[in-house]
A = this chain, B = another copy of it.
């Protein structure tokens, strides 16, 4: 299994897991760029958002709702947070298993910066 996120999901690589259900896992980024930096990841492997079809809408929405709930549990829902999905090289994607960054704990500069 060459995908690092699939290895984490299988318990074959370490991670600080904050949440898990039958469709989703969330763990802290090992190279945080903000005081709160959590990755929300589907259990099913998708290379990127480009692999997501209409039939996956419920799963995709679940990732967003899990992120929202984590923001509450981590105490940043009111102060604010940013969700980011990077796709492809110009998008800044570095791990090719779909994931959503939850960033908080400091003021974020404008969206695309």
A84 touches B87 (CB 8 A): no
Residue of B65, B72, B113 touching A54 (CB-CB under 8 A): B65
**CB of A11 within 8 Å of the partner chain:** no
**CB of A111 within 8 Å of the partner chain:** yes
Determine the main DSSP class of A at the interface with B: mixed
The interface on chain A, measured as residues whose beta carbon lies within 8 A of the other chain's beta carbons, has a size of 51
CA of A49 to CA of B81, assembled, Å: 10
CA of A89 to CA of B107, assembled, Å: 8
Residues on A facing B (Cβ under 8 Å): 33-34, 37, 49-50, 52-54, 56-62, 64-65, 67-68, 71-72, 76-93, 101, 103-113
